[in-house]
Structure 1
């Protein structure tokens, strides 16, 4: 490769990295990773105790046995039978729903309302400009018509 191509490649790579979509995606991943801890805390600190009021506090312990007898080793591996661990699926589903709700209500909805206000202001400004332009155009037409009328009346007087 020649040295002339390398700066172009690096500049292209830099332009790719600095695009809004890539930067936005990177920010979203970092925020999402940090937000995972909050969601896990909500599930463990609020949801699991509420479920625990009905049964066990740990959703992972809810399971059904597809093939008897189901037995697990102390480390959680299957000793015998075919257990279906539907409690862990329920816990993950609750985590997802909580995450989606918080993202929607705290991020998406306020941003959509903000963008709608910005768009309404932009349309109002454009509407005002159009009225001013139409009004100016009408005034110019009136001036033109008045000049034509003066020219015609000036030629008729002579």
Structure 2
């Protein structure tokens, strides 16, 4: 039981739990904007009430009926994903990265310089081997 308690009280687990809760709440806001504003606006371009009803394709079924595919719903889901990803990046990830950079600068921790790439090392070895011959 002590190991479980230590695991739960570890900072990463609590941060992850907070992120999931905030993400779920924020997703509801983004979904509302997409469904109430963006989807109807784009749906109007395709002469549909919403994007979910846009770009219908009707195909015959084996039983003699018809099935309708709504490709607009897929486009709407893709737009929703891009908007959520952009907002998460610009509202959460980018500010946190900047904050970490500032904290590291205050502590005097400089970013490590990137070493030579594999290609550069291979070129140096080639040049050294050519110079020996």
Q: TM-score over 0.5 for the alignment? A: yes
Give the corresponding residue for 2:69. 84
1:4-54 CA-to-partner distances (Å, cap 9, x unmatched) read xxxxxx111111111122111111111111112101111122202321331
Residue ranges of structure 1 left out of the alignment (5+ in a row): 1-9, 70-78, 126-158
On the 8 A contact 1:64/1:85 being kept in 2, the answer is yes
CA, structure 1 residues 26+36, in 2 after alignment: closer, same or farther (shift >3 Å)?
same
CA, structure 1 residues 80+22, in 2 after alignment: closer, same or farther (shift >3 Å)?
farther
Taking structure 2 as the reference length, the TM-score comes to 0.70
How many aligned residue pairs are there? 106
**2:5 aligned with 1:14:** yes
Give the corresponding residue for 1:152. none
Report matched runs for 1:91-102 at 5 Å: 91-102=76-87
Stretches of 4+ aligned residues off by more than 6 angstroms: none
On the 8 A contact 2:40/2:49 being kept in 1, the answer is yes
1:31-90 CA-to-partner distances (Å, cap 9, x unmatched) read 11111210111112220232133121312212213x337xxxxxxxxx933433211111
Report matched runs for 1:88-127 at 5 Å: 88-123=73-108
Give secondary structure in 2 for the equivalent of 1:123: coil
Give the corresponding residue for 1:44. 35
Taking structure 1 as the reference length, the TM-score comes to 0.60
Higher helix content, 1 or 2: 1
Over aligned residues, Cα RMSD in angstroms? Answer: 2.2
Higher Cα Rg: structure 1 or 2?
Answer: 1
